């Protein structure tokens, strides 16, 4: 099993959830910006069958807004640097 741990924001700004695990993510919420729920507890983290599944989840795009205004893929979770444990 694999979990995703947030290490920080990709742009280097302070991140209030750094060190926490992804508990859930609703990609469609907030007009495609997503609604992320984190937890400091490993046992409450989302579990993925393998690294590939976890990586695909991290790079997922919401169906209601698959691209950003600049035409690039909308991948809300890639705003974070993560580790896969």
Q: What is the pLDDT of residue 1?
A: 95
| Mean local confidence (pLDDT), 24-34 | 96
Task: Note the pTM of the prediction, 2 decimals.
Answer: 0.93
| Mean local confidence (pLDDT), 34-60 | 98
| Mean local confidence (pLDDT), 19-30 | 97
Contact residues for 15 (Cβ-Cβ < 8 A; gap 6+)? 6, 7, 8, 9, 80
- Domain segments of the chain as ranges: 4-84
**Which helix (H) or strand (E) element contains residue 52?**
helix 51-58
| Mean local confidence (pLDDT), 28-49 | 97
């Amino acid at each position: 099993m694999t979990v995703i741990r947030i290490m920080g924001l990709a742009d280097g700004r302070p991140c209030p959830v750094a060190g926490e695990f992804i508990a859930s993510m609703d990609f469609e919420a907030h007009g495609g910006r997503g609604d992320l729920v984190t937890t400091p507890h490993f046992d409450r983290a989302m579990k993925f069958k393998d690294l590939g599944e976890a990586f695909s989840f991290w790079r997922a795009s919401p169906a209601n807004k698959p691209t950003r205004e600049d035409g690039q893929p909308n991948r809300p979770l890639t705003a974070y640097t993560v580790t896969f444990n």
